[in-house]
Structures are given as structure tokens and as C-alpha cells.
């Protein structure tokens, strides 16, 4: 597996991730990692005929999670090369199938794209959690969910009763994110029944009574290891409809 790192930042995390992935998987195409100054986008991956590219902010490349982040992105590349349905299915096509004839808020439509990314992440992290240590990922998910829960107003809170700390902390997608985290870690027996993530997830669900934590956890956890294209498309359409619901006119 050929990995070349360019830009101002350390190569070590990416080479360490390469070595971890190489214990079980290989990439046919070379990977070009480009470290850049812009901190707004943590990572952006691209796939081309002759290479994979990974654009990484210098902040991410120098963080404590750099190796784990690189391993996660390399796992996406492995899924892409093996032509896994999760990485070939057009998100736009699936959302059109799921939402045709329905009226959907722009906010919720954006969340549907995030949910589709969670579906891809499940399959990428099935690789990373099989070959890499889980402690950092569990701690990262716990701290991220704790911040989101603290920053999310309940969906039934009266206007003005709550000062949202970050615009990104939407309670409904926070509840789905919590379901994703639990499903992923449960798929790999990475947390015990008494882990704090369960308390955080239930707090997130309490803030979003319209979102069923257990149902979305089932959506993510029950994804088959080796679905065909039709099975994967149906799973993505089902979870999208479950989240967006609605009726009437087609989505924006």
C-alpha cells in the first residue's frame, strides 16, 4: 500500500494507519495525503482512476486522533475499491426514491445526507474496529455526544427558553447520531451495558421525542455485512423515510 504525504505536517499518523490497514487489507491504488492549513474541513477524500486523495487540515493531522482518522479514511478507500454497495450507491438517487412526493424541510434534507454518510461509515468502521484499538474512538464519540447534548435544546422547548450554544447542535440529528454511535460500537462489542454513552444517548432521545433511538439503532446495527445493491438501496431508503417522513409535494 503506497501512501505519500505532502504539506506541512507529520507523516507518521498516516504511515501508522497504513501499517494497521495492511495487516488485513490492501489498496491497489496509491494514496496521496495533502495536509493543508484550512481548519474548517477536517478531511475530504477523493477517488480517481489512478489514485485516492485525502485532504486533511493541519489541525486534524496533528491531533491525538490523527491515526484513527486516517485509518477510517483508508477503510473508506478499501470499501470503494472492493465496490461495496455502500460506497457505490448514489445518495441522490436513494433520497429521490425515499422522498418523492413528500414535503421535507431543508434542514431535514441536509440531515438525510448525514444519515447516508453514517451508513457508509458503518461499513468503513467495520474495518477499522476489526483491526484497530477502540479506546480512542469510544472516548471521541462519548465527548462529541456529550457536547452535542449540552448544546441541544429540546424540540418542544418554548421559543426563547433556551439559548442554543452551537447552530450545529440540532436535537433530532443528535439523537440519530447517538443511535449511530451505539449501533457501531455494539456491532463490535466495544462498550459494556453500563457505559456512559447509553445515558448520553437517552438524554439525546429525550430532547427529540419524534426520533426513536431504538429504531434508528436497529437500522444501523442490523445492516448486513455483504448486502447486494438492492438490499443496500432499500436499507438507505427505509432509514431516510423513517427520519424525514412527511407527505405532499416532492422534496426540495
Whether residue 224 sits in one domain with residue 99: yes
- Residue 129 is assigned to a structural domain of this protein: yes
Cβ contact 155:207 at 8 Å = yes
- Report how many domains make up the chain: 2
> Domain residues for 58?
3-64
For residues 17, 221, 98, 152, the Cα torsion angle rounded to the nearest 10 degrees is -80
Please state, rounded to an integer, the average pLDDT across all residues of the chain.
89
Is pLDDT at 76 greater than 50 in this prediction?
yes
H/E stretch holding 88 reads helix 85-88
Whether residue 41 sits in one domain with residue 90: no
Whether residue 231 sits in one domain with residue 163: yes
The predicted model scores a pTM of 0.88
pLDDT (0 to 100) of residue 133: 86
Which of 41-45, 162-166, 170-174 is the most confident on average?
170-174
- Residue 71 is assigned to a structural domain of this protein: no
Whether residue 234 sits in one domain with residue 190: yes
Whether residue 55 sits in one domain with residue 166: no
- Residue 249 is assigned to a structural domain of this protein: no
- Residue 166 is assigned to a structural domain of this protein: yes
- Residue 115 is assigned to a structural domain of this protein: yes
- Residue 186 is assigned to a structural domain of this protein: yes
Q: How would residue 102 be classed by pLDDT, with cut points 50, 70 and 90?
A: confident
pLDDT (0 to 100) of residue 39: 63
Whether residue 20 sits in one domain with residue 107: no
Is pLDDT at 166 greater than 50 in this prediction?
no
- Residue 81 is assigned to a structural domain of this protein: no
- Residue 178 is assigned to a structural domain of this protein: yes
Burial-class residue 77 by CB neighbours within 10 Å (0-12, 13-18, 19+).
buried
Whether residue 200 sits in one domain with residue 153: yes
Residues contacting residue 3 through CB under 8 Å, at least 6 positions apart: 14, 15, 18, 30, 31, 33
Least confident range of 11-25, 26-40, 119-133, 164-178: 164-178
Q: Encode burial over 127-155: b for 16+ CB neighbours within 10 A, e otherwise.
A: bbbeebebeebbebbbeebbbbbebbbee
Give me the mean pLDDT over the 174-183 stretch. Answer: 97
C-alpha to C-alpha distance for 19 and 137, rounded to whole angstroms: 18
Determine the 3-state secondary structure of 57 from DSSP: strand
184-238 confidence digits (pLDDT tens): 999 999 999 999 999 999 999 999 999 999 999 999 999 999 999 999 999 999 9
Amino acid at each position: 500500500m503506497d501512501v505519500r504525504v505532502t504539506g506541512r505536517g507529520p507523516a507518521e499518523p498516516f504511515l501508522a494507519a497504513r501499517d494497521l490497514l495492511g495487516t488485513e487489507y490492501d489498496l491497489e491504488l496509491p494514496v496521496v495525503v495533502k495536509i493543508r492549513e484550512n481548519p474548517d474541513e477536517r478531511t475530504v477524500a477523493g477517488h480517481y482512476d489512478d489514485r485516492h486523495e485525502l485532504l486533511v487540515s493541519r489541525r486534524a493531522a496533528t491531533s491525538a486522533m490523527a491515526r484513527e482518522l486516517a485509518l477510517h479514511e483508508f477503510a473508506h478507500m478499501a470499501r470503494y475499491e472492493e465496490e461495496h454497495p455502500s460506497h457505490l450507491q448514489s445518495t441522490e438517487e436513494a433520497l429521490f426514491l425515499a422522498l418523492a412526493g413528500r414535503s421535507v424541510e431543508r434542514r431535514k434534507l441536509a440531515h438525510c445526507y448525514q444519515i447516508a454518510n453514517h451508513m457508509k461509515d458503518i461499513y468503513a468502521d467495520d474495518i477499522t474496529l476489526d483491526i484497530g484499538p477502540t479506546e480512542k474512538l469510544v472516548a471521541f464519540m462519548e465527548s462529541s455526544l456529550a457536547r452535542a447534548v449540552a448544546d441541544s435544546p429540546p424540540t418542544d422547548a418554548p421559543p426563547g427558553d433556551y439559548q442554543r450554544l452551537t447552530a450545529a447542535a440540532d436535537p433530532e440529528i443528535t439523537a440519530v447520531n447517538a443511535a449511530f454511535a451505539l449501533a457501531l460500537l455494539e456491532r463490535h462489542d466495544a462498550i459494556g451495558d453500563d457505559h456512559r454513552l447509553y445515558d448520553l444517548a437517552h438524554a439525546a432521545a429525550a430532547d427529540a421525542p419524534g426520533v426513536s433511538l431504538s429504531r434508528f439503532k436497529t437500522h444501523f446495527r442490523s445492516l448486513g455485512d455483504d448486502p447486494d445493491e438492492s438490499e443496500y438501496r432499500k436499507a438507505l431508503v427505509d432509514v431516510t423515510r423513517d427520519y424525514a417522513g412527511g407527505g405532499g409535494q416532492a422534496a426540495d
